[in-house]
C-alpha cells in the first residue's frame, strides 16, 4: 500500500518551454501533497504544500508564478514549470499524505533537464 507515482520520470526540454509533472497517489486519498526539489548529494528542499481544492502554499523564495501547482483531486497533483531555464534543471519529488496522518509517501522523482 501507500504507493505514489510520478510522471514523467525524466524530461528534457528547451529553454522557454513549460513542463508539467504529475503526482498520483495510487491506493489512498492524499489530502495533502508536497513538492520538493533536490540537488545532487543534497537534502530535499520543500517548494510548496498543496491541500486538495485549495491554493498551494509556497516556501519563501519559490516563485509561485513559475512553479504552478494544482491539486484538483484527492489522488492527483501537478507541478508545471513555466518558461523553464537551465537553472531549473533538477530532481523534483512529490510526496502525499492522508488526512490526520503524519507519514509522507514519496514518488520516484522526475529528472528535469532544461537545455
Q: Contact residues for another protein (CB under 8 A)?
A: 4, 6, 32, 34, 41-44, 46, 49, 91, 93, 95, 97, 102-109, 111
Question: What are the φ and ψ backbone dihedral angles of 99, each rounded to 5 degrees?
Answer: -60, 140
φ and ψ at 46, to 5 degrees? -70, 130
Question: Strand pairing partners for 93?
Answer: 36
Cβ pair 106, 6 in contact under 8 A:
no
Give the nearer residue to another protein in terms of CB position, either 82 or 106: 106
Cis peptide before 8 (omega within 30 of 0): yes
User: In terms of CB distance, is 1 or 86 closer to another protein?
Assistant: 1
Q: In the bound complex, what is the minimum distance in angstroms from residue 89's beta carbon to another protein?
A: 14
Q: Which of residues 43 and 87 has its CB atom nearest to another protein in the complex? A: 43
Nearest Cα to Cα of residue 5 among 93, 98, 102: 93
In the complex, least distance from residue 10 CB atom to another protein, rounded to whole angstroms:
9
Q: Minimal distance in Å, beta carbon 12 to another protein?
A: 15
Amino acid at each position: 500500500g501507500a504507493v505514489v507515482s510520478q510522471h514523467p520520470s525524466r524530461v528534457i526540454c528547451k529553454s522557454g518551454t513549460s513542463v508539467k509533472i504529475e503526482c498520483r497517489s495510487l491506493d489512498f486519498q492524499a489530502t495533502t501533497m508536497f513538492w520538493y526539489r533536490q540537488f545532487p548529494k543534497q537534502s530535499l528542499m520543500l517548494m510548496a504544500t498543496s491541500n486538495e481544492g485549495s491554493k498551494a502554499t509556497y516556501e519563501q523564495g519559490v516563485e509561485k508564478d513559475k512553479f504552478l501547482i494544482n491539486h484538483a483531486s484527492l489522488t492527483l497533483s501537478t507541478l508545471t514549470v513555466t518558461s523553464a531555464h537551465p537553472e531549473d534543471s533538477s530532481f523534483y519529488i512529490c510526496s502525499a499524505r492522508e488526512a490526520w496522518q503524519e507519514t509522507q509517501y514519496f514518488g520516484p522523482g522526475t529528472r528535469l533537464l532544461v537545455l
